[in-house]
Structure 1
Amino acid sequence: MKRAFSLCAAALAVAIAAPAVHADVKTREKTTFTLEGFLGGVVRVFGGRAAREGIESTVAVKGDRKASISGNTGQIVDLSAEKVYNLDLRRREYRVTTFADLRAEFEKAKADAEKQAENAKPEDKEQMEQASRELEFDVDVRETGERQTRLGHQTREVILTITGREKGRTLEQGGGFVLTNTLWLAPRIAALDELTAFELRYVKAVYGESILGDVQQMAGVMAMYPAFAGMASRMQEEGHKLDGTSLSTTMTFEAVKSEEQMKAAAGSQQDSGGGGIGGMLGRRIMGNRGEPQARTKVLTTTHEMLSVDTTVTDADVAIPANLKLKD
């Protein structure tokens, strides 16, 4: 099911350092979301081309309501009513979805993704299960020293990296996963913190603490690679420690082959079935084409603020008067 990305695919990246504040805000922003290879087929079902090329939207938050408009579609979230109003501006109609409906939708998307995972070889399934049980996490926060002016604010570049590796082995030895978030942080902007806080309240109210990003697309990632959920949760935890408000973020999730996997890949382009928790992903995405690569990118998301305004009216978060309820 196609959504206007009200829960943007970069929700994890946006949900960094969000204190409890109360300020109305209106923004223009752009989001992209790209899944690679085998998993990319899941995205195409849900309008992946638009996500890859970028979706520009206008977002307004006022109290317990948030409106997102992108092209001829829109969405209004009402936290107090626990309802989402999906707007079709071209047809001049709207539909109502409850939070309970959204939870059921997520479970269905997750079940569909798990069926895709069932096609994996037995050894691949074992690797996926091990990835969720046997990972140790390393955290690295690096201030690069780079500076940029964005929306009139002086921002600094910070790279936050979470590495999940097999217990007792290095990433190069046993393989694993790397989640990297590159942020351009401005001094604290209260209005944008309110936007972020609303997103977190919405996600937690509908999906719980650990579900981040566009629900259908993230369901596919989590079904295939259970490690992603744990790493995303750790990323959010570490992000809260950063000082500032992010005006631009880029997040990547990569799988890393083990030494055994690399040796097997080098020895035979037709059979790269060595060990290590990153091996299965490499076979899925690369399909044994070209020279074997130690790292394989699974997904990339970006989120960028284009403008910020603190003047918001009731009309900005209301259903347009010319729209009719669609049964």
Structure 2
Amino acid sequence: MLPLFKRAALLLAIFLPATIYAADYTYQQTTQVTGGSLLHMVKSVGFFSSQARHIGDPVVSSIYLKDNRLANVSAESIEIIDLDKETITHVDVQKKTYTVMTFDQIKQAVANARAQLEKQQPAQPAAAQQPAADPNVKMSFDVKVRKTGAQKEISGLQSNEAILTMTMTATSTAPATTDQPQQSGAMAITNDMWLVPAIPGYDQVRDFYKRMGEKMADSNTIGLGYDFSKMLAQNPGAGQALGDMAKEMQKLDGVPIMQVMRMGTTLNGQPLPAASEAPTPAAPAGPSAGDVAKQGMASAISSRLGGFGGFGRKKQQAPPPDPAQDAAAAQAASILMETQITTSNFSSAPVDPSHFDIPAGYKQVQPQTSAPPATPQ
């Protein structure tokens, strides 16, 4: 499966308008995890793993597009998408191996994983099972695009700022009491984008991903890696949110050449602040207001979606809170991860077909799937 931020970038490409071109195209992309509590956590145990020590290093990829094939080439891996053959080939440069999966196999693997999960749930002890949805929690979804008017020169190009915010808010509908005030919080993604009006030929990249999305559209989990059918069934407002997202995306007129994407949680349903609005906080020495928000929010939303309970339930009696701490906590945001993606070196020069070849001497291996084949019905 694609990493989270690649999935988000794929959705962005699908929703943005495109014009079909038929030519070769090349560009370069640098991706770097630049902050967030997950980065601090991984670095804190980095002495156990050389891979963990390099989690914050920039990853430079060259993207080659030729007809109906796209190759994403980095120092450690190569990914080749072929729309004609409907395959995705992943090459592990370090191990000198590669795997090939068809679109249908990917869809089936997702279906198998979902079926396996549903099969395991009834086997759990009754005490460990949670209700499908907490009736005391109301879910709401919000997607907004805001143009700030700010400008910045990036890679020699003059760009304009647009901020995309996506929030999924859980609010307790239980009456507030002295011991149990009404709770609210949000899981959020904020993408701080710097766009240029146009880059000749780049629209064909969007067209490629749109056609890929159409070919894989019958798999509910492709894109974000989440079962949208279940979410939409339990939360009708999510369907409206996806429609609103498509409308908001129409405001993004241009090509993003730099994106700073944040994922995390906030209190009171507020969006995460964009990178240009607030820096990422330093690594905390102990539990912070953001940690409290994260823990409460995870309980809230997972309960609403059939996961773990806890949100909206009566808490144990606690000492009166400090008003100053309450004021700080009310404005707290916990950034789990911040990633910066910079795109540059756009070119319409002819692409060498060898970029789509498996390197000589590499061995094909079977892809690892998280679930066994589905049992015929």
| TM-score interval, normalised by the smaller of the two chains | 0.5 to 0.7
Say whether residues 1:158 and 2:165 are aligned partners.
no
Letter paired with 1:65: R
Unaligned runs of at least 5 residues, structure 2: 174-181, 270-287, 312-324, 366-377
Q: How many residues align?
A: 296
Corresponding position of 2:369: none
CA distance in 1 between counterparts of 2:5 and 2:190 reads 23
Say whether residues 1:248 and 2:252 are aligned partners.
no
Alpha-carbon displacement from aligned partner over 1:208-229 (angstroms, at most 9, x marks no partner): 486565x6xx449999999898
Alpha-carbon displacement from aligned partner over 1:107-148 (angstroms, at most 9, x marks no partner): 4566788889x8997679635x987xx534444432222211
Corresponding position of 1:205: 215
Give yes or no for contact 1:4–1:75 (8 Å, CA) kept in 2: no
Letter paired with 2:133: E
Alpha-carbon displacement from aligned partner over 1:57-95 (angstroms, at most 9, x marks no partner): 111011110111111421211101111222244555533
CA distance in 1 between counterparts of 2:20 and 2:32 reads 27
Say whether residues 1:86 and 2:93 are aligned partners.
no
Residue correspondence of structure 1 range 81-230 to structure 2 within 5 A: 81-90=85-94, 92-107=96-111, 126-127=133-134, 134-165=138-169, 174-206=184-216, 208=218, 211=221, 218-219=225-226
Deviation for aligned residue 1:53: 3.9
User: Given the two structures, how large is their TM-score scaled by the length of structure 1?
Assistant: 0.66
Corresponding position of 1:313: 351
Label 1:111 to 1:57 Cα distance change in 2 as closer, same or farther (>3 A).
farther
Label 1:92 to 1:275 Cα distance change in 2 as closer, same or farther (>3 A).
closer
Corresponding position of 1:287: none
Label 1:274 to 1:239 Cα distance change in 2 as closer, same or farther (>3 A).
closer
Letter paired with 2:341: H
Corresponding position of 2:27: 27
Structure 2 SS opposite 1:126: coil
Say whether residues 1:76 and 2:80 are aligned partners.
yes
Question: Based on CA coordinates, which of the two structures has the bigger radius of gyration?
Answer: 2
Structure 2 SS opposite 1:101: helix
CA distance in 1 between counterparts of 2:5 and 2:72 reads 6
Alpha-carbon displacement from aligned partner over 1:249-296 (angstroms, at most 9, x marks no partner): 22333334459xxxxx99xx8xx8799945979x99xxxxx9856533
CA distance in 2 between counterparts of 1:7 and 1:149 reads 24
CA distance in 2 between counterparts of 1:138 and 1:5 reads 20
Letter paired with 2:196: A
Letter paired with 1:187: P
Letter paired with 1:205: K
CA distance in 1 between counterparts of 2:256 and 2:62 reads 17
Answer 1 or 2: which has greater helix percent.
1
The alignment's C-alpha RMSD in Å is 5.0
Label 1:164 to 1:88 Cα distance change in 2 as closer, same or farther (>3 A).
closer
CA distance in 2 between counterparts of 1:197 and 1:137 reads 28
Label 1:86 to 1:8 Cα distance change in 2 as closer, same or farther (>3 A).
same
Q: Percent identity?
A: 23
Label 1:5 to 1:256 Cα distance change in 2 as closer, same or farther (>3 A).
closer
Unaligned runs of at least 5 residues, structure 1: 260-264, 285-289
Which deviates more, 5-14 or 195-204?
5-14
Corresponding position of 1:262: none
CA distance in 2 between counterparts of 1:190 and 1:299 reads 32
Structure 2 SS opposite 1:175: strand
Say whether residues 1:297 and 2:365 are aligned partners.
no
Corresponding position of 2:279: none
